[in-house]
Chain A
Amino acid sequence: MKSQPLNGGRALRIGLVCPYSWNSPGGVRSHIEDLALALIQRGHWVNVLAPVESPEQELPDWLTDAGVPVAVPYNGSVAKLRFGIRAMARVRKWIDVNDFDVLHVHEPLAPSVSLLACWVASGPIVATWHSSAERSRVLNASFYIAQTALEKISARIAVSESARRYLVSHVGGDAILIPNGVRVQAIAERARRTSKEPEALAFLGRIDEPRKGLEILLAAMPAVIRSVPDVHLTVVGPGDASAQIARMDKDIGQHVTFAGKLSDDQKIEALARAQVYVAPHTGGESFGIVLAEAMAAGTAVLASDLEAFSVVLQEGRAGQLFPTGDSQALANAIVALLNGPDRVQELAGAGRLRVRDFDWDTVVDQVLAVYEAVTVNGDKVTEDLRGQLVGRWMVSR
């Protein structure tokens, strides 16, 4: 059942902190936007602090600009982060002015405004861990610095079991598991207006990122085409398709369309048109939000048996699993599904039921329960720089 807001539950003043640029699309950023909107809808007062690249652009009134981010290599890729003495001053002012009941920091270890917010604040602080990067060098090298910021956090949330395990083993302590939210209703609505195509498959993800597993799916295609001659695969995602096309056999090429990068709505339509959404990932996925989106769109899911996927698909009850990296098994599974419409219907139905657990409404209930557990006595978020050299001397407002 859902944990509902308590009777007499008061409206909270909530501060959300996004470490990455508000202008670049990404999982963490859209999570924060969805969360903010859902909380506002429930009658809470919300303000988001995030780096913004073009300050002249029109911002929603619940967003505070933390300054222009800088692109720096971080955790294996390039991230746009905001840090430095001026950023620190903005964070302090933001906390000072807004009189928050609870501060909700995302990716508190990212060297950006999230870490700075943990650094200067004390009181009810909630933190959400999104990524499950392998052992972080940042954390190793600057453990003391990180620790003084981390030990201020009153409640920790992880969005996936692997993110939780990462946190528990590398940082220590406990974390509540609250999976990512999906706008189930909106997706289902759009999917209803899209008609299914027979023998259609869909793949989503960067073409040139090996961990997304496109290679494995393409290797399975010849065997699939032999049994289902009319099969068609739509590949949605950024990346250079020409290299893939050049490498592919022409006979197979006829059955594959590279749609490139699509808008969110077009992505949902591509998912909804397919009979089966294939997720042949080989690793690195902490949650697999696309699986939930496919389920919301009423499309049967066929995914590699990574632990995260297996949890989302309830060990194969809400979608079918195949051994990770096994093209032959994948081909067999695709053929069986395309030849068995009843099974596809059954999986789509089970998926629709399962995806309710990931609906934003459910997620917001759980997040609010955490807020209430740390704010029930009415403590406020205040500034507290004790124990921090940098904060004490090097920063002035």
Chain B
Amino acid sequence: MSPRVDIKHIHGVPIALYKMSSIEVVVVTIDFKAGSYYEPHKNWGGVHFMEHMVHEGTKQFPHRDALEYYKEEYAINQNASTSGQILSFEANFPTVSLKEGFRVLSEIVTAPTIPENELAKEKNVVTQEYRDKWSQPNNRFWKAKVSYLYGDSHFMTHDALGQPEYVQSLTKKDVESIYQDCVKRNTMSITVVGNFEETELEGLLTSFIAQVPEGSPQTLPVKKPQSKGTYLWHKEDMDKVSIDIAFLFDPRSEITKRDRMILLLGSYILGGSPRSRIFRKLRGELGLVYSAGSMVMFGQCASEFHLIASTSLSDAKVAKEELLKALHTLKNVEITDEEFERARKYLNLSTLTGYDSPYRISDNISGELFFDGTVIPPQEIISLVNTIQKEEIAMLYKKYVSNDPIVMVMAKEDPKLQ
């Protein structure tokens, strides 16, 4: 039987429901269009800090321990996260704890007290989170890449953690104001996956949503990347060279779902698995790399196609050339029927495995609902993929992945791959 996603609107809030009768678990995801991309001025990191603070006490659970004991009693796992464009609250719990699960979410999302006496402690926690993150060379490379690709002033460079000095300066009033800016009905979407009784769930959702103020919608401008150049060497003291060759193209909103699937299919053939062309050539045949591949991402302001490899200083030039050669071949040499059919079959089957657990289902559905405002069920995606002709892969890679490559490397010495 084909899995079924019901889309409803309660008080204007889009809600995706996915019922699974064979389990006794419910997974709830509540997403808001908020995050560091929406903090556009000199400083950011306030939304992430606010997300921490709303867990420090609520009207009915005045301190964190009270909340944690309640969660333990009803086996409620609850967490939250902040990225550039999503402030997300998630919870999973047994079906018998449906009411209590919603009570926890409702308290955290709609009735936080932002206790003043917890501010200083939590600021230190967030500062340590900052230190942990930016102590990792790969994270520093990622930050350098985003700045290089999008330009220093682009909101895409706003990592959720922001600046510790700014976070340290925030008062209770500031945090309350950030909370009011973020937690609004007009920016909210909800996904519920698992076993639930529809009428009971609808009642809980209705009363929960009613407590969220309407507010005004938040929008991000579609601001094109302001790339700094075509070659970046990011210095890190490490005995390897990480190569990332990026191509920027149209934003997600300007690429149809079908075109996105074609690009994903091409990326899978090129570098999406140990059976891919890049992996087999660079690792299996030439032994140049430990890891190598390709990936495609569809973003708010631009989509990105990446060719990546981890290699040595002495092999970096050849590895880079081989990566570009593989892309050139994809664009210009016909894919065999066998390779195309294998890739398409794999993509179709992996679409189904994306629906293998309530957690992954919730992840997939909430992402689609958030970004596209609708959810396409896996069977429809498979039907869509089955309409793709192999010639379309080369055609679309020529169309979209056509800008100058931006070569970015992390190494202790500049391998000069311009």
Q: Do A and B form a real pair?
A: no
Chain B residues proximal to chain A, CB less than 8 Å: none
Binding site for B on A (CB under 8 A): none
